Amino acid sequence: MKILVTGGAGFIASHIVDAYIREGHDVTVIDDLSTGNRGNVNKRTRFIELDIRDEALKKVFDESRFDVVNHHAAQINVRTSLANPFLDASVNVLGAVRLLDYAAALGVKRFIFASSGGAIYGEPDHYPISEDRVPQPMSPYAVAKLATEHYIKVFAQLHGFTYVILRYSNVYGPRQIGKSEAGVISIFINEILNDRPCFVNGSGDQVRDYVFVEDVVRANVLALDSASDVFNIGTSVETSVNRLVDELAAVTGRNIRHEHRAAIPGEVFRNSLDYSKISRTLKWRPGVSLAEGLKKTFEHFVSINAVTQKISGS
């Protein structure tokens, strides 16, 4: 299949691109490199540096006639959405609508979207959260993700393509950057490697559901053959930020200094996702434990740090 991956130089999507290439697909990557890294892009792809809001995007669709769009390009930070909701909506809603418009006009058969199960549900009274829970967004970022889901469903109905919406919990792993609060693991590892204290927002009792990027990639591969649907991608395992610090200490063998600071407005306090629907439908389930995933992630950052030090010292 001919697949367009937006945000394909970024943390999650670059791993997805690698998997699609291994599966034998023809992949084009679009990324404006605002948070992505050109070095993450598989050399067997066609890479185009472009903002998804740019009208030049139509030429890309005209030239390639994609079968599938996998949409991961986004403004990724809740705090940025609070400070600048116009920017957030511009990228996360209007950018998505432009993609959908071109996809519909030029015969795309399937649209896969990276939504946020870690943000859109708010704080319901039952955990883990299933897909039938009514979303209660607490930030402009979450509102934009939910609005895009609705746009996708309407465009799919009007234009006859299929869609798969994947609501991620907190994804972590190699290549993650620290430009989003969802990237707390990469932030902490960088601080640990630089012998600096880790800053914990609020009490540290807030709970997250950490899912390893390799498991997320498998869901995106399965999504190529799924009927239209919405799926949670998480582990159902709750881990507090304080517990995460302890887990990292065990993995790294270091005594981690951490300090508390003010909580972030709009940040969900508790989150864990029920993945039973995708387990029943597509036979997906998380395969990497937190301890194993943290070890892989730490080893990746250690290797990158060693290369950086070697270059700077040469």
Question: Can you say whether the dihedral through the CA atoms of 78, 79, 81, 85 is positive or negative?
Answer: positive
**Torsion angle, CA of 146/150/106/15, rounded to 10 degrees?**
30
Helix (H) / strand (E) containing 70: strand 68-71
- Beta-carbon contacts of 249 under 8 Å, excluding residues fewer than 6 positions away, are 255, 256
Strands 68-71 and 46-49: unpaired
**What is the Cβ-side half-sphere exposure of residue 103, based on CA atoms within 13 angstroms?**
33
Q: Which of 84, 52, 49 is nearest to 71 (CA)?
A: 52
- Beta-carbon contacts of 301 under 8 Å, excluding residues fewer than 6 positions away, are 174, 186, 189, 190, 193
Beta bridge partners of 230: 165
Catalytic residue among 20, 102, 121, 141: 141
Burial of 295 (0-12, 13-18, 19+ CB in 10 A): middle
* Number of Cβ within a 10 Å radius of residue 290: 21
Tell me if residue 151 is catalytic. Answer: no
Rounded Cα–Cα distance for residues 216 and 236 (Å): 14
Beta bridge partners of 6: 30, 71
> What are the residue numbers of the active site?
141
